[in-house]
Amino acid sequence: MPAPTHRIIVTIFVYNEGAKLAETLGRFPDDRNYDVLVVDDGSSDGAGEIVGKFPFAYLRHETNRGIGAAFRTAFEYAFEKGYEIFVPMAGNGKMHPSDIPALVDPILEGKFD
C-alpha cells in the first residue's frame, strides 16, 4: 500500500532580513515535496522584491504587527489552502532547508502526528 501523501508548507517569517533573506531562499531545492510561503511582517528593506525572484508564495503585512500576527496570517493561509503539515522557519539564515526532512519524514512515515 503506498504511503499517504500530505500537503506540506514551509513558512518563512521575515522582518527586515535584507541579504540574509536572499541567501535563505536560495538554499531551497527546486525538487522538493513541500511548498514555501514567506510572511513579511512589514519589512522596509524590499523583502517583496527579493521574494519575487523565487517561486514562493508571499504575504505581507503593511506594518509590523509582531510574530504572533505573522503566525496567524500563515496559519490562516495554510488552512485555507488545505495544508496538513506546517513547518515554521526564520528568515535570518540560521535554519537550513536541508533540516526539513528530519522533521517531516517521521510524520510522513506515521511515527508521529
10 neighbors 100 (Cβ within 8 angstroms): yes
Grid cell, residue 12, equals 518563512
Which DSSP symbol is given to 4? Answer: P
Q: Give all strands of the β-sheet with 35-41 in edge-to-edge order.
A: 57-61, 35-41, 8-14, 85-90
Q: pLDDT-derived band of residue 92, with 50, 70 and 90 as boundaries?
A: confident
pLDDT of residue 94: 87
**CA-to-CA separations, 72 to 14, 64, 104, 107, in angstroms, rounded:** 14, 13, 21, 23
105 neighbors 30 (Cβ within 8 angstroms): no
pLDDT average, residue stretch 95-109: 91
pLDDT of residue 1: 35
Nearest to 13 by CA among 53, 55, 64, 52: 64
pLDDT in tens, 27-75: 999 999 999 999 999 999 999 999 999 999 999 999 999 999 999 999 9
End-to-end CA distance of the chain: 19
Residue owning grid cell 514562493: 56
Grid cell, residue 73, equals 496570517
Q: Is 16 helix (H, G, I), strand (E, B) or coil?
A: coil
